[in-house]
Structure 1
């Protein structure tokens, strides 16, 4: 084993630049245990990096490494993971241990975890339900590639795991025909609308839209969370109807979040320009800004945000930036299709960290367990204990 290569693999993992096959190599180095000092040095560098750290050294590197080894060995024994999966788990645990130390800088990483589980959930995957104009439904998880239906003046094709709407020639003043794509918990899905707009739906979301756009605007309805790359058509603005607000777009990349179980709806702009409208206010966003609409009073506010963190889910990551515990558990509930029950008060902690979305639920919950969060998992229900 090459020490320099191990160092580079850890650095590339932290920078999210690992190539195909390198997670397996990273696991092999960790599993061999030849260079524990490399882990120590990597943790030191991470804590000293302004992008990750608060310049604190009140963590125990040996405890981190021991906990990492214990978790990997437990996973191999209990779940019989092959090395590729274990590599993903290993990398996830490393980064999460670092980040939780950052968030709780006055607490060393604990070794004793109080948790019980007789159930483990795989991560979410691609899939959705397509509802046609006549109310019939097509399960996109299992449907084959090819033509699925003819809806109005559009032909529906499933190609390479996504749904494409192809307009049949020039359409003028046709009566709109509406479809809906819904992602249940534990699913995400990509579709391309008839104008070329690309939509990626997160878990627990939906979009309702005409199969072909006609008239003066392109109007769709979205609930949950979606990332959109809107095709530019200046003479026909793109309008998203949310629960109590709407987003007017000309051509841009942005993320919308409007879950009914959250206190606010959020629109985050990456490129271009969007206008937010409510019954009381209007607001124009610039790239890098996020608008929030409070459900209780409808008021809009804006701030500058880390857009990479906001759209991390589109790149296969769960990312937390000082996220409160209840928000974190809602994300876990949607992606892993589990229910959350609190026995007692909701823990008053904030979480920072990141991990790949293709790890099992048990890895995520062990991350929380290292923070002193007590829980049981049974029959697709996570019970948070006092």
Structure 2
């Protein structure tokens, strides 16, 4: 091995980018370094040769540091598991890591042989005439034009509308729908932006004219609305509730299988309109509409948790396993079955949404309070 080859491999080793074969080679190389026949020099000025003991010592120290880091990571996981066991009586907890975490298992459990990939950018666009465009397969560029409105795919998972309002004769409506395991971004004709979560749809006009900008939402979406005091923006949910704004950022969760509709405000102001009452939100607050009673409750919001899906994470804050698995089932497009008593078990933690489902389930299993089995696209939850 020449000095140049050694240096390149040594730098890869320190940065953690070695393959398993390269890592084994450089770690084993400490026992077989032979500099006598290579005559490595520091530079081209004729300085004396590097001695074998110096390189050997440097390499040993580096390897020791790398192994200490690995041992520290392992000990951290065991320490977290020990803490989990200690606090099971007051609540269940799994490791709260906002950065991506890889869980390495020496042996793969038969329960996780059938893995499921995370969701991605997928959606169907339904035009006013009923025709549909599968956005997964569509190329970037103009997809369609409807009454002086151009519809463009501008990137992976991004759709944009641009309209010449003065030339609009008849308002037409489009619907953007994401399947289970899909998400998409939409730029509305007025420049407002919408992030659509999995299993959701938004129906909107191809141009905003008149006194209001009204769209209809099913599922969950994050809105960044362009301010227009003369034309309020209204989000109409599938439970006869209107969310009225001028220009603001907010998240609406209105899935059919959830008992509440949650509106969380990040910036600006929001008015919640319902036959049973009205509520106003300030930044950092959430309006919780109980679909059974029709009552609206305003409370302090967990902003990070509310928009976690948009930022690529699952965040659970004292959340039961049924609620967690509804989120998991939407993103991974799986069905969920339950066996045994799983009540009175709440979880707290953060996990990246770009992990395979097995990694999500394994991290939940670290609590010792819940276990899973994957069979195709069916997940069984057990105590």
TM-score, normalised with respect to structure 1: 0.73
TM superposition shift of 1:89:
4.2
Q: How many residues align?
A: 310
| Mapped partners of 2:139, 2:74: distance in 1 | 49
Counterpart for residue 3 of structure 2: none
Counterpart for residue 327 of structure 1: 323
Counterpart for residue 382 of structure 2: 385
| Mapped partners of 1:112, 1:301: distance in 2 | 48
| Mapped partners of 1:281, 1:171: distance in 2 | 39
Matches for 1:188-199 after TM superposition, within 5 Å: 188-199=183-194
Could you tell me which of 280, 289, 295 is aligned with 1:293?
A: 289
| Mapped partners of 1:24, 1:248: distance in 2 | 51
Matches for 1:271-290 after TM superposition, within 5 Å: 271-290=267-286
Q: Secondary structure at the match of 1:287?
A: coil
TM superposition shift of 1:309:
2.0
Matches for 1:177-326 after TM superposition, within 5 Å: 177-244=172-239, 245-326=241-322
CA-atom RMSD in angstroms: 3.2
Matches for 1:86-101 after TM superposition, within 5 Å: 88-90=100-102, 93=103
Deviation track 1:226-258 (CA, whole Å, cap 9, x = no partner) reads 001001111000000012211001000000000
Could you tell me which of 137, 140, 148 is aligned with 1:145?
A: 140
Q: Gapped runs of 5+ residues in structure 2?
A: 1-14, 24-62, 88-94
| Mapped partners of 2:143, 2:261: distance in 1 | 33
171 and 316 in structure 1: CA distance in 2 versus 1, 3 angstrom threshold: same
TM superposition shift of 1:317:
1.1
Q: Secondary structure at the match of 1:181?
A: strand
Counterpart for residue 68 of structure 2: 34
Counterpart for residue 374 of structure 1: 371
Deviation track 1:234-283 (CA, whole Å, cap 9, x = no partner) reads 10000000122110010000000000000100000000000001111000
Could you tell me which of 148, 152, 161 is aligned with 1:157?
A: 152
TM superposition shift of 1:376:
1.6
| Mapped partners of 1:40, 1:341: distance in 2 | 33
Q: 8 Å contact 1:273–1:287 — kept in the other structure?
A: yes
TM superposition shift of 1:294:
0.3
TM superposition shift of 1:175:
2.6
Counterpart for residue 46 of structure 2: none
Q: Secondary structure at the match of 2:166?
A: coil
Q: 8 Å contact 2:249–2:265 — kept in the other structure?
A: yes
The question of 1:124 aligning with 2:158 is answered: no
The question of 1:358 aligning with 2:354 is answered: yes
Q: Secondary structure at the match of 2:244?
A: strand
| Mapped partners of 2:217, 2:152: distance in 1 | 21
212 and 334 in structure 1: CA distance in 2 versus 1, 3 angstrom threshold: same
Deviation track 1:297-322 (CA, whole Å, cap 9, x = no partner) reads 11000111221221111111111111
Q: 8 Å contact 2:190–2:208 — kept in the other structure?
A: yes
TM-score, normalised with respect to structure 2: 0.74
